[in-house]
């Protein structure tokens, strides 16, 4: 078998196991929710590469599987959990997002992997190595050698590459959108703080004038007392109304800008947000919640 055929064989196996892993996750999540769940996975196509890479790693490291299925279960669970942990860590560093989190599940490691999923991965490795794997490899070898599978692999590679580019772009755009929402919120907070300080200063000036008027009254200038108090009160009432109007105007402007940011997600961004319902932003968690809330209300 030539190098190109070997590369095609490896890539087709990657795609095959990525597809089977995606199917398994869809079934598992749908059973847990008792309804058909949203499309799962980082990519737009019906594949989860993390399963494909995990399967190939297990087959390579365990040389097709251990003689004892129990050993295959243990080492398979260990290897696939390492793949999941590493993937979670890398994606978090790249996009500043925690794409999945098992913190609420017992026996988890930093929320990235958990014993329950590791056991399921181990069981899947037993099925892979002692049943499914040899058949899938034989089928893929047949496709490559007899059915020009190299062309098939090339076409799938182009689709896979385009999907990766689209999905990464969507993840970057979501991060940029959250950054904009965060900045709008920060600007609003600073503006409200500044307006509050201005209002407090204006009130203190009027209070000082009132105290001066009362002091003048105590010095015997009683006829000026009522006049000064009335004048100051007439200034305080519109002053409070003016600042209330400015505060509401600032909030309305910020809300309009936030809506403008939230109204632009394309179908790929929306799909990505739906595929990871437990995803959280490490930098702008509140902004992510606002984005999800807007999309749900819309």
pLDDT, one tens digit per residue, over 62-119 is 998 899 999 999 999 999 999 999 999 999 999 999 999 999 999 999 999 999 999 9
- pLDDT (0 to 100) of residue 237: 58
- What CA dihedral angle connects 224, 229, 231 and 233, to 10 degrees? 180
Write down the pTM of the prediction.
Answer: 0.82
Of 235, 238, 212, the closest CA to residue 225 belongs to: 212
Q: Flag whether pLDDT at 269 surpasses 60.
A: yes
**DSSP code for 129:** I
pLDDT-wise least confident of 115-124, 189-198, 199-208, 274-283: 199-208
- Confidence band for 277, pLDDT divided at 50, 70 and 90: confident
123 vs 292 pLDDT, higher one? 123
CB under 8 Å, gap of 24 or more: what pairs does 193-197 form?
195/243, 195/246, 195/247, 195/250
- pLDDT (0 to 100) of residue 225: 56
**DSSP code for 68:** S
Q: Extract the runs of DSSP E, i.e. beta strands, from the chain.
A: 97-98, 108-109, 113-114, 280-281
pLDDT-wise least confident of 3-17, 117-131, 245-259: 245-259
Q: Report whether 248 contacts 64 (CB < 8 A).
A: no
pLDDT, one tens digit per residue, over 199-225 is 777 767 766 766 666 666 555 555 555
- pLDDT (0 to 100) of residue 66: 92
Q: Flag whether pLDDT at 272 surpasses 60.
A: yes
Q: Directed axis angle between helix 49-61 and helix 69-95, to 10°?
A: 140
Tokens of 43: 């990519």
- pLDDT (0 to 100) of residue 156: 95
């Amino acid at each position: 078998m030539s190098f190109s055929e070997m590369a095609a064989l490896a890539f087709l196996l990657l795609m095959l196991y990525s597809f089977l892993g995606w199917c398994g996750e869809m079934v598992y999540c749908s059973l847990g929710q008792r309804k058909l769940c949203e499309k799962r996975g980082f990519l737009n196509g019906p594949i989860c590469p993390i399963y494909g890479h995990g399967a190939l790693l297990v087959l390579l490291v365990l040389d097709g599987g251990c003689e004892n299925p129990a050993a295959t279960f243990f080492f398979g669970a260990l290897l696939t959990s390492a793949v999941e942990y590493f993937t979670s860590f890398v994606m978090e560093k790249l996009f500043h997002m925690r794409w999945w989190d098992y913190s609420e599940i017992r026996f988890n490691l930093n929320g990235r992997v958990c014993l329950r999923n590791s056991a399921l991965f181990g069981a899947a490795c037993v099925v892979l190595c002692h049943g499914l794997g040899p058949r899938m490899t034989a089928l893929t070898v047949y496709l490559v050698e007899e059915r020009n599978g190299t062309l098939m692999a090339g076409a799938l590679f182009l689709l896979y590459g385009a999907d990766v580019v689209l999905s990464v772009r969507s993840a970057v755009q979501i991060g940029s959108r959250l950054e904009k929402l965060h900045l709008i919120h920060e600007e609003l907070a600073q503006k409200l703080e500044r307006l509050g300080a201005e209002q407090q200063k204006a009130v203190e000036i009027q209070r000082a004038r009132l105290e001066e008027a009362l002091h003048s009254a105590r010095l015997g200038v009683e006829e000026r007392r009522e006049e000064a108090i009335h004048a100051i009160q007439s200034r305080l009432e519109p002053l409070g109304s003016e600042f209330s109007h400015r505060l509401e105007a600032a909030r309305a402007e910020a809300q309009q800008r936030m809506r403008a940011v939230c109204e632009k997600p394309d179908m790929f961004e929306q799909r990505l947000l739906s595929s990871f319902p437990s995803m959280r932003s490490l930098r702008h968690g509140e902004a992510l919640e606002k984005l999800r809330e807007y999309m749900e209300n819309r």
